[in-house]
Structure 1
């Protein structure tokens, strides 16, 4: 025996969405930029150098030195010259007293005395030296003052301008839902 059955068929509903993307418009104005500079300042002050040349020792060595120093030299060496003269007279006297040697001492001493006059040197001048000129140099002094440069920045950032345009949105039903109920065929005879 067949049992009658009810058939139920269901069709689901379908939604359709048609969407376009939105659109962004972004603008960013340039930043406002200002720069101020203060230039470097440099002050230089110089004091001239000093060169001093002292040639008094050079003049003194040539015999043109200060008179007082020449007289002082003569005075200090006179005693020594006098002692040398006395020693020479004593030596000459001893030669003349030595008659037993057979030398003609008076004639020899006369000849030598002429040579002594030519060879006599009395140094009243200063010392002749290769370094008789005194040179002294004081270098110049330099004062430097520096004021550093300054740079000041002023930056103002501008915010971006953003606009969004919404895209098209279409929502529709592409298939409606439905339920279909099919009753069984009932064939009864009574």
Structure 2
């Protein structure tokens, strides 16, 4: 009798396979711009000005030229009348003394006539006109009023910030069995004949 071979069991295994179908999700973000609103009030300058006043009084200057007021001229003549009269009497006495001095041989009447014309004009002018001076014109200046009011410009800013808009679409994820796992066991053939 020979040696019998040992029976062998055959095992066949098939692994399971999983199928996955996945799509990525989509994320969409939108950021609206912020709104900026600016309001400007312009600056304001108000000026209130009154002109200055220049007052020139040339009454004394006119008076010194002989164009003064009549009342002042008459008053001046009246106040100096007694003095003029005394000067005139004194002059007459002096002229009489000159005419009495015949021994000098001078033509006194001719000389006195010449002198009297000029002297009378000088006495008359000194009496009628006012005093001549470098300071005969009075100048007075009153400055005007100057007032200013300034308002600076104003800037108002309003910023409106908008929230971002976020949209998300979920992806697809399918998991399925592509191949089922399998285990096959094949028994040996047993020869039952002895």
TM-score normalised over the length of structure 1: 0.55
Q: Give the match for residue 85 of structure 1.
A: 88
CA distance in 2, matches of 1:85, 1:133: 34
Q: Give the match for residue 125 of structure 1.
A: 129
- 1:1-190 to 2 correspondences below 5 Å: 28-96=31-99, 102-104=103-105, 107-108=107-108, 110-119=109-118, 120=120, 121=122, 122-123=124-125, 124-129=128-133, 132-158=136-162
The number of equivalent residue pairs is 142
Residue deviations 1:77-106, cap 9 Å, x none?
Answer: 32332333333334334445656xx2146x
CA distance in 1, matches of 2:164, 2:110: 125
Residue deviations 1:33-65, cap 9 Å, x none?
Answer: 221112222222232333434332333233221
- Secondary structure of the equivalent of 2:104? coil
- Secondary structure of the equivalent of 2:113? helix
Q: Give the match for residue 20 of structure 2.
A: none
Indicate the RMSD between aligned Cα atoms, in angstroms: 3.7
Give unmatched runs, 5+ long, in structure 1: 1-23, 165-190
TM-score normalised over the length of structure 2: 0.54
Contact 2:48 2:146 in 1 (8 A): yes
Larger-gyration structure (1/2):
2
Displacement of 1:162 in angstroms is 7.9
Displacement of 1:159 in angstroms is 5.4
Give unmatched runs, 5+ long, in structure 2: 1-26, 169-194
